[in-house]
Chains A and B, each alone.
Chain A
Amino acid sequence: MDSYADWLRARGDDDLRTLLALRPELITPVPADLGALAARAAAPASLSRALDRLDRFTLNVLEALLVLTQPVTHEMLAGTLAGDPAGNAGTDRSGTDLSGTGASGTGVSGTGVSGADVRAAVDRLRAHGVVWGDDDALRTAPGLRQALPHPAGLGPPAREAFASYSADRLRMLFDALGLPSVNAFADPAELTTVLADRLTAPDDLIHAAGPAAAGALNELAWGPPIGRVDNARRAVRVDSANSPIERLLARGLLVATDDRTVTLPREVALFLRKGRLFRDLTTEPPPLEGAVRDRALIDRTAGGAAFTVVRLVEDLLERWGVDPPAVLRTGGLGVRDLRATAALLDVEQWRAALLIEAAYTSGLLARTGDTDGEWLPTKAYDVWRMRDTATRWAELVTGWLNGDRVPGLVGERDSRDKAINALADESVRGIAAHTRRAVLLALASAGAAPDADAVREHLAWREPRRGRRLRDQLVGWTLREAEMLGLTGLGALSSHARALLSDRASSGRDATNELVKVLPEPVDHVLVQADLTAIAPGPLVTELARELALMADVESTGGATVFRFTAESVRRALDAGRTAAELADLLTRHSATPIPQPLTYLIEDVARRHGHLRVGIASCYIRTDDPATLDELMADRRAGALRLHRLAPTVIASRLQRHELLEALRGLGLAPVAESSEGGVVITRLDTHRAEPTARLYPETAADGLRLSLDPSVITAAVRALRAGEEAARLTAPAGEPPRTPSMATIEELRGAVERGSRVWIGYLDQQGQASSRIVEPVRVEGGFLTAYDATRASVQRFALHRITGMAEVDAPDSSAP
């Protein structure tokens, strides 16, 4: 096995499936064969993404592997990581000799890393396709050095670092280091080897460079091993050096690797580190400690928050449905609108921003139009509103969890020092969804209520290469948002959130079931009091809540709801088409106490005056001094189509346009006039507006890494396609012309091949008359066409039967194919 591609080819299907599951980007699109897959998997950019998914210990193992000379045996690797010098015995002189740093044996102390830990890490690395080869010859994937230029924070070995130095410059260094002078024709490679040897014990050189220079070296010792200076390549001599950096450059303790960069050679760094590769090496993430609280209390608290957040979103969208805020020209929601919303909901601004963003990512809120648009609830909101609280919560939280928008950024400054608005595009961050899930999973593993810093450290160990500052911010935001959204209670993950985070397909339903247990039981009654308030001693069943909100103003919300009846509120209900009797009936049915008389009077008073005056629409009217004329008109059957309405003995209204009515009346042989409305109560309640729902705002599946993001069937299919491609690549059309067979025989044979599921080699004449040959898997022969899977093109194609010049079966049916 001599290449990465060969190793990959030799992997079993299960291994490949694991690889693709871990690195799903490798099969978008599916590569033609395993060779292409290997090329893609070993590319630095792709490897860099793979490394992002690794924890700190696994990365450390990988870095150790990069530092050692490959191939590396498992024992050697384990020995190095365990801090056991004996394990280093195998390193060959051309690579880094960890035992030859002059500090070995004294500086390297046991790290407590066992062989099993290392083996597990190597297996992980192999599964990710980052390391290949067996335990006796471990190698890193080809592009890895580029993806990870400074393993363990170490610069290149002196041999590589000095490669760009001219022979003259090297001789100058030889002089400065007091090495035996060399002749003018010495091979630079040999010179660098001598230099490298000298630098493994640079104690005296560092001493000679002075304390300031030693300080600078120590800065670089634990990486990154490079520093920026102007004009780095200038030639400096020991006697003319007048800055610490120049003194170091003159002694070869720093190497100028380009015009502006100086690099600490690996040998010197290892000397300074006393031979240690890592400052600390832990096989476990830092523990997440925090207050441990009663599970039931956590669930209840979270349940209360979940209930509140659903109610707040409903309040918000109800309000916006009637009175929508405008879309800013730049796309977001104005600061003033955000502030007004916060005041409306009586919450702090960040909470208001979170509610708005959550509604948006859940598809409950959208903008209308491109210019002069408004933020409106969507039709999906109407559906959402009908659901029970737990389901509504699950939908809302799923949107938040998987969305790539970061509500916490609202109000922060962007790169141009402009405040970021809610709902604006500036608050999109690619790692948001991933980090959120990671934080919650960390909480799930903790079982306690750790503080934000503990979570940050934990994540920094789990995925050291992701995020940094943004992630640290996201951790804080996620924790406070999770608390508000009712995923956590008192800082610890609730049972319903745990269910939601699971990989099971039923996670949403499980979460709902868990949440229902802790949500307050909906009540279907209220306590009506003489001070014209009604108190619902718990969350109301949706229908009753809506009716009450129509006829009374909500005065206070929380576990209970306080409604106040006023003349205006009762009028509102009457306007919406309710009658006094209906209102009284509703209250009687749902009141646990007798209806106090003042309320009855209030409703009656308002109802008595309500509709006292009636307003209708009349585009024209008919008037006459002679009621008999109108009697006649009303009795006229031909007038039926005119929708005439007699308002008074001498007045008739019509909804027709005046000219239409005039014409119609003339047609009846009359001379006309008009007015309107059928006289019924007109419902005038303001219609709420709705926007079209936008497409889903978060990807179907969560970000990769923590969860198998691809459907196993997709992965299996991809592996199969790859194998087929491999096969096809191997079995390219045999040399020579494809066989010629008579067409009837061809069709027969093809049918047989379809039945047997075997592969055939066909000769084909395309529309331009160009002859070619393919290897295909026939699927169907019908209607004068052969439908077949062409493995080389990874697609299903149709071939006209009459253009197939001949065929031959290639192999027996593939038994491994399902």
Chain B
Amino acid sequence: MTDGPLIVQSDKTLLLEVDHDLADQCRREIAPFAELERAPEHVHTYRVTPLALWNARAAGHDAEQVVDALLKFSRYPVPHALLVDVADTMARYGRLRLEKHPMHGLVLLSTDHAVLEEVVRAKKIKGLLGARLGPDAVAVHPSERGTLKQALLKLGWPAEDLAGYVDGEKHPISLAEDGWALRSYQKHAADAFWHGGSGVVVLPCGAGKTIVGAAAMAHAGATTLILVTNTVSAHQWKQELLKRTSLTEDEIGEYTGTKKEVRPVTIATYQIMTTRRQGTYRHLELFDARDWGLVVYDEVHLLPAPIFRMTADLQARRRLGLTATLVREDGREGDVFSLIGPKRYDAPWKEMETQGWIAPADCVEVRVTLTDSERLAYATAEPEERYRFCATTETKSQVVETLVTRHAGEQTLVIGQYIDQLDELAERLDAPVIKGETRIRERERLFDAFRSGEISCLVVSKVANFSIDLPEASVAIQISGAFGSRQEEAQRLGRVLRPKASGGGARFYAVVSRDTLDQDYAAHRQRFLAEQGYAYRIVDADAVLAGDEI
């Protein structure tokens, strides 16, 4: 009996005991072929999926190495069936290849006649293929490259895409590392992406994903299309690029509701891309407006469906996805992988924290007990109104007020879902509020004021969920949210994770009504972070109100 750090489960999850001496070595060896699923304090869970195995193959690992790693670190005998399955799965990769043929253009080749036959006959694939060029080759419509890859993946015969990428229109971009330097993980991430061709980089909020994007652009040295979630975010990308790269104001265009500039580097919002007029997506032609050498998708977990469809046609271009949390409540993670590309880099949040790249955060759930009248009102509310009811109670507002007072002097964000509630809170706290209808200019003014410390408390709606750069926010109070969204919770925590000048930690409060839907949703929302190792402490609202140490 060896005493390894790894336990291989029959459902293909791998449990890694973190405190084990060999844990680090083991982590390095299993990371190429297993997805980190959960990383709480003692035992991390990895999952061996076909996708992960194929990615490992694509990265040059073979089944032998995988089996070796499992046997070497496993504490208990590894089920034989699992090892066989690993070998079988990995053997499926590369039977089919997509290549560029000098005469026929894009072709699907196979070393295994039977596999090609099976694939060619599959209903979903038939329409994507062109003429048969021989027993082992079939032409592919260039526009169907992405769709075909997606369909093949679903069939379990992933194609090795060797057709390469178009270089795109050349445009020199370099990093201007004056007074700052690319962090090691950012460099790793950019290199991993470039080496892999296309793919997704997963980094916690505040870890500098924009810079990874800039580094990737420097690698590409070509015209770049950047897709972001909203206009403020577009501005911030622009600022960041001006600061970090050799690009000048004239080289960067904005393609938003107000401006429609197409320049060598163009930043567009998902919203404008998916705006429909008379039933057609008018702005999708932006994808073809230039010969883009790189397409960057910010917050890729939010990618809307029409963009997915467009992206399928962009398989010849390099694509980079950036996100903090690859959990989609709609379960379309698989589409992200097959259309943007596999995960190229992933860093556990807690690891970044120990390395000091993100601020340590203390998550506190404040449990509020409803008053009897509130409970009665909650109990009799219509089902669709119930969450709103328990999420916006008066008792909660009192707690928020107390918390803000407690943290007076610290930069504090109050984040909520319901505008009425936010307006009311803003009034009580005497703080400005940013919501959907706030004009872009006003938003930016407020953000600047917050940044400079002119205002220390800001009430924001979900518009601020993403990509707003609030360097010195050290306290966030979440009062209500979009039901049980795990990634929203993570994004909101991300607001306070940027390393603080003081080197101190951040506080994240979630105010929750006890024994209501609010509490159930909160439990679900916290799951992602709990799995990343953020242990929520639970504190009673009475303790907060009474001014106890928390």
Contact of A538 among B42, B76, B77, B519 (CB under 8 A): B76
Q: Would you call B79 and A531 a contact (CB within 8 A)?
A: no
Chain A positions 514-537 with a Cβ under 8 Å from a chain B Cβ:
518, 520-521, 527, 529-533, 535, 537
- Inter-chain contact A530/B41, CB cutoff 8 Å: yes
- Shortest CB distance A113–B (Å): 42
Contact present for B9 and A596 (CB under 8 Å) = no
Is B9 within 8 A of A529, CB to CB? no
The answer to the question of B527 belonging to the interface, with a C-beta cut-off of 8 Å to chain A, is yes
Give B518-543 interface residues, CB cut-off 8 Å to A. 519, 527, 530-531, 533-538
Least Cβ–Cβ distance between A310 and chain B, in angstroms: 13
Q: Does B17 sit within 8 A of A, measured CB to CB?
A: yes
Chain B 363-377 interface mask (CB, 8 Å, partner A; 1/0): 000010000000000
B330 within 8 Å of A (CB atoms): no
Nearest CB on B from A494, distance (A): 11
CB pair A560–B40 under 8 Å, yes or no, is: no
Q: Which residue of B lies closest to A306 (CB)?
A: B77
Using Cβ atoms and an 8 Å threshold, which residues of chain B touch A558?
Answer: 7-11, 13, 76, 79
> A106 in the interface, Cβ–Cβ < 8 Å?
no
Which B residues are CB-close (under 8 A) to A557?
9-11
* Residue of B with least CB distance to A592: B42
In the complex with contacts A557-B9, A558-B11, A560-B7, A531-B38 CB distance below 8 A: yes
Report whether B80 and A483 are in contact in the complex, using a CB–CB cutoff of 8 Å: yes
Are the C-beta atoms of A532 and B530 separated by less than 8 Å?
yes
Contact, CB under 8 Å: B78 / A304: yes
Q: Report the nearest A residue to B41, measured CB to CB.
A: A529
Q: Known A535-B42, A559-B74; judge A490-B80 contact (CB<8 A).
A: yes
- Contact partner of B80 (CB less than 8 A), chosen from A301, A556, A593, is A301
Within 8 A of B (CB), among A455-498: 483, 489-490
Report the bound CA distance from A159 to B1 in whole Å. 72
Bits for A540-563, please: 1 = Cβ < 8 Å to B, else 0: 000000000000000011111010
Nearest to A299 among chain B residues (CB) is B77
* B9 proximity list for chain A (CB < 8 A): 556-560, 562
B515 contacts the other chain (CB 8 A): yes
Say which residue of B10, B15, B40 sits within 8 Å of A531 (CB atoms). B40
Question: What's the nearest-Cβ distance from chain A to residue B109, in Å?
Answer: 33
**Cβ–Cβ < 8 Å partners of B530 in chain A:** 530-532, 598
Decide yes or no whether B43 CB sits under 8 A from chain A. yes
B11 with A346: CB separation less than 8 A: yes
Contact B43 A529 (CB under 8 A): yes
Q: Considering only CB atoms, which chain B residue lies closest to A302 in the complex?
A: B77
Given contacts A308-B10, A556-B9, contact A529 B77 (CB under 8 A): no
Give the docked Cα–Cα distance between A489 and B43 (Å): 29
Report how far A601 CA is from B80 CA in the complex, Å: 41
Is B392 part of the binding interface, using a Cβ–Cβ cutoff of 8 Å? Answer: no
Shortest distance from the beta carbon of B541 to any chain A beta carbon, whole Å: 13
**Complex contact A527–B536 (CB within 8 A):** no
* B7 neighbours in A (Cβ, 8 Å): 537-538, 558-560
Q: Confirm or deny: A305 has a beta carbon within 8 angstroms of a beta carbon on chain B.
A: yes
Distance, CA A532 to CA B530, complexed state (A): 8
Q: Does chain A have a CB within 8 A of B325?
A: no
Instruction: Say whether, besides A305-B79, A558-B8, A529 and B1 are in contact (CB < 8 Å).
Output: no
Q: Is the CB of A535 within 8 A of B15?
A: yes
Q: Is the CB of A520 within 8 A of B1?
A: yes
Of listed A346, A483, A533, residue having the most chain B CB within 10 A:
A533
Q: How many residues of B contact A (CB 8 A)?
A: 35
Interchain CA distance A489-B81 in the complex, whole Å: 11
Q: Any chain A CB within 8 A of the CB of B45?
A: yes
Q: Which of A308, A558, A560: most chain B Cβ within 10 A?
A: A558
Q: Do B535 and A530 touch (CB < 8 A)?
A: yes
Tell me if B536 and A530 are in contact (CB < 8 A): yes
Q: Which of A202-255 contact B (CB under 8 A)?
A: none
In the assembled complex, the CB of B64 is this many whole angstroms from the nearest CB of chain A, namely: 16
Q: Please, which residue of chain B has its CB at the minimum distance from the CB of A346?
A: B11
Residues on A with beta carbons closer than 8 Å to the beta carbon of B77: 300-301, 303-305, 489, 559
Nearest-neighbour CB distance to chain A for B319, whole angstroms, equals 32
Cα of A559 to Cα of B80 in the assembled complex, Å: 13
Interface residue from B15, B533, B538 paired with A597 (Cβ < 8 Å): B538
- A window 290-314: CB within 8 A of B: 300-301, 303-305, 308
* Complex alpha-carbon distance, A425 and B236, angstroms: 74
Question: Does any Cβ of A come within 8 Å of B260's Cβ?
Answer: no
Give bound CA distance, A609 to B369, whole Å. 14
Given contacts A303-B77, A529-B41, contact A559 B538 (CB under 8 A): no
Contact-size category for A: 35 or more
In the docked arrangement, what's the CA distance between A560 and B4, Å?
13
Q: What A residues does B1 contact at CB under 8 A? A: 300, 518, 520-521
Are the CB atoms of A597 and B80 closer together than 8 Å? no
* CB of B95 within 8 Å of the partner chain: no
Q: A7 CA to B490 CA in the complex, in Å?
A: 93
Within 8 A of B (CB), among A616-668: none
Would you give the shortest CB distance from B397 to chain A, in whole angstroms?
23
Q: Give Cα distance in the complex from A557 to B519, angstroms.
A: 29
Inter-subunit contact B79/A308 (CB<8 Å): yes
Q: Could you tell me if B79 and A598 are in contact, using CB atoms closer than 8 angstroms?
A: no
Task: Tell me how far the C-beta of A350 lies from the nearest C-beta in chain B, rounded to whole angstroms.
Answer: 12
Q: Tell me, rounded to whole Å, the shortest Cβ–Cβ distance linking A5 to chain B.
A: 56
Q: For the complex formed, measure the closest distance between the CB of A349 and the CB atoms of chain B, giving whole angstroms.
A: 14
Contacts of A537 in B (CB 8 A): 7, 15, 17, 43, 75
CB-CB contacts below 8 Å: B345-391 with A: 367
Please, which residues of chain A bring their CB within 8 A of the CB of B535? 530, 596-598
Mask, A334-365, CB within 8 Å of B = 1, is 00000000000010000000000000000000
User: How far, in whole Å, are A593 and B13 apart by their CA atoms in the complex?
Assistant: 22
Residue of A nearest to B42 (CB): A527
Contact across chains for B15 and A560 when beta carbons are under 8 A apart:
yes
Q: A304-B77, A562-B15, A609-B515 are in contact. Are A601 and B538 (CB under 8 A)?
A: yes
Residue in chain A with minimal CB distance to B9? A558
Rounded to whole angstroms, the CA-CA distance of A303 and B1 in the bound complex is: 11
Cα of A305 to Cα of B42 in the assembled complex, Å: 27
Nearest Cβ in chain A — how far from B70, in angstroms?
11
Q: How far is the CB of A291 from chain B (nearest CB, A)?
A: 13
Q: Which residue of chain A has the shortest Cβ distance to B2 in the bound complex?
A: A300
CB distance from A224 to the nearest CB of B (A): 40
**Cβ–Cβ < 8 Å partners of A535 in chain B:** 15, 42-43
Cα distance A521–B2 in the bound complex, in angstroms: 12
Could you tell me the distance between the alpha carbons of A560 and B42 in the complex, rounded to whole angstroms? 14
In the bound complex, CA of A596 to CA of B43 (Å) = 14
A559 contacts B75, C-beta separation under 8 Å: yes
Cβ contact within 8 Å between A598 and B45? no
Q: How far is the CA of A493 from the CA of B322 in the complex (A)?
A: 52
Within 8 A of B (CB), among A559-605: 559-560, 562, 593, 596-598, 601, 605
| B537 in contact with A597 (CB, 8 Å) | yes
A304 to B15, CA, bound (A): 16
Q: Which residues of A contact B519 (CB under 8 A)?
A: 605
Specify which chain A residues have a CB less than 8 angstroms from the CB of B78 in the assembled complex. Answer: 301, 304
B76 touches A304 (CB 8 A): yes
B514 contact set on A, CB distance < 8 A: 605
Once bound together, how far apart are the Cα atoms of A562 and B11, in whole Å? 11
Give A488's nearest chain B residue, CB to CB: B80
Listed by A's residue number, 17 A-B pairs whose Cβ atoms lie within 8 Å are: A304-B76, A304-B77, A489-B77, A527-B43, A529-B42, A556-B9, A557-B10, A558-B8, A558-B9, A558-B13, A559-B7, A560-B15, A562-B15, A596-B41, A601-B538, A605-B514, A605-B515
Q: Which residues of B contact A (CB under 8 A)?
A: 1, 7-11, 13, 15, 17, 38, 40-43, 45, 74-80, 367, 514-515, 519, 527, 530-531, 533-538
> Given A558-B10, A597-B538, list of 4 further CB < 8 A pairs?
A530-B40, A531-B38, A558-B79, A598-B535
Instruction: Name A residues whose Cβ lies closer than 8 Å to a Cβ of B.
Output: 300-301, 303-305, 308, 346, 483, 489-490, 518, 520-521, 527, 529-533, 535, 537-538, 556-560, 562, 593, 596-598, 601, 605, 609
The 7 lowest CB-CB distance pairs between A and B, nearest first, are A304-B77, A558-B9, A559-B76, A530-B535, A531-B530, A529-B40, A560-B7
